[in-house]
Amino acid sequence: MTHTRQDYLDLDAKDPLAAQRALFDVPEGLVYLDGNSLGAMPKATAARVAHVLTREWGRDLIKSWNTAGWMDLPRKIGDKIARLIGANAGEVIVADSTSINLFKVLAAALRLNPTRKVILSERDNFPTDLYMAQGLSELLGQGHTLEFAEADAVHNAISQETAVVMLTHVNYRTGRMHDMLSITAKAHAMGALVIWDLAHSAGAVPVDVNDAGADFAIGCGYKYLNGGPGAPAFVFVAERYLAEFVQPLTGWLGHAQPFAFDWKYAPAPGIERAICGTPPVLSLAALECGVDTLLSADMSAIRQKSLALTDAFIALVEANCPELNLITPREHDLRGSQAAFTHPEGYAIMQALISRGVIGDFRAPDILRFGFTPLYTRFADVYDAAEALRDVMQSRAWDKPQFRQKNKVT
């Protein structure tokens, strides 16, 4: 195990991904370990968005829907994201938010499995997924129920009563990663469909939805895809379902001929039927820059570095801050690209760290969460963050009133 900052600088010097950091605008003197909430801005983004603003919108105005290919962006970027998640071209499209896309695919999946009424998930799943399932069940009024299993018991909880298994691949709090292949196989063996939320997976860990046989997936554009705050989300529909995929938000751009302006809805023949309304062009331009940064690197190298970064951070924190309790799995095949610890004063500790230029985040009730984005996180950042955390804990720097004042966003 390495012990000095120079040791970590030496690791950076040997890092095959070290040059990727130059693609991002990361402020000097800041250790940014919150890319699992909001990815850093690629340097290409500002110029790209400025071009869309000043030239495509500012000069060419409405002509740019055709001349600049604005209308094609959801499918174009979707095909790029497909390469990151093991999907085929034509199975992924960018549209709306993660929550709305979940509503679409959950409604479609329940329609495809009409005799079953159980939606199986984890109680510790991201709340919006659970809320959408609850809201849709109430809206349908057909007796659907949301049932829960612990993370390590999901496999055994899938039964012949299960209509849909709805899981986040990497848990947003603990960083625990499900075995997509085995859970999907078990669900299919029991006659259930599976929806995977890839918000904390896409761009962070290797994902192969088609190899796993996934039915549907959704994901976020502003975390590891570096698309900017509120970036559009994406939706995956396996090719075998495209012809019968019926989603309830039948907006005009999901129509087979949107500019025919027919009064009666007819779905587009492929993944385009997952779209509702007009694409957010500025946001899509920013998202494409973020996705391109991921495509410039090899995902296996990203994964290897992610595990090395998290291994190093966990070892340093446990050696120097024994009062913090690790809740992220130690096993590589169960770990996403984050490390999370609990402490009763977790919120104040994180605020004290942020005041020192180490940015992580807090998740209720007591979780300090650190995300590692290998394209721009350095091994020296790991050392500096762990040292700052050690000092905050040993000096009790967190024990001040200003660090206990809750902000709207934690």
Cα 405–Cα 407–Cα 409 angle in degrees, nearest 5: 150
Q: Cα(89)–Cα(287) distance, rounded to whole angstroms?
A: 18
- From the list 116, 173, 186, 223, the catalytic residue is 223
**222 noted as active-site residue:** yes
Nearest to 340 by CA among 365, 317, 370: 370
Tell me the one-letter amino acid at 140.
L
Give dist(CA 7, CA 1) in Å, integer.
9
Active site residue 362: no
Check 32, 216, 222, 362 and give the catalytic one.
Answer: 222
* 131 catalytic residue (yes or no): no
Question: What span, in angstroms and rounded, lies between the C-alpha atoms of 410 and 402?
Answer: 14
Element holding 168 (H helix, E strand) = strand 162-168
Residues 6 or more apart in contact with residue 266 via CB below 8 angstroms: 255, 256, 257
Q: Which of 24, 32, 103, 126 is catalytic?
A: 126
Calpha distance 4→352 (Å, rounded)? 23
Choosing from 197, 361, 381, 384, the catalytic residue is: 197
Q: Is 369 a catalytic residue?
A: yes
**363 in active site:** no
Please state the φ and ψ torsions of residue 370, each to the nearest 5 degrees: -125, 120
Cβ burial, residue 376 (10 Å; 0-12/13-18/19+): buried
The one-character DSSP state at 270 is S
- Residue of 215, 261, 268, 279 lying closest to 246 (CA atoms): 268
- Determine the Cα–Cα distance for residues 369 and 348; give it in Å rounded to an integer: 13
- Residue 204 near residue 171 (C-beta atoms within 8 A): no
Catalytic position from the list 104, 305, 335, 369:
369
CA distances from 100 to 22, 44, 58, 145, 248 (A): 34, 29, 30, 20, 11
Active site residues: 126, 197, 222-223, 369
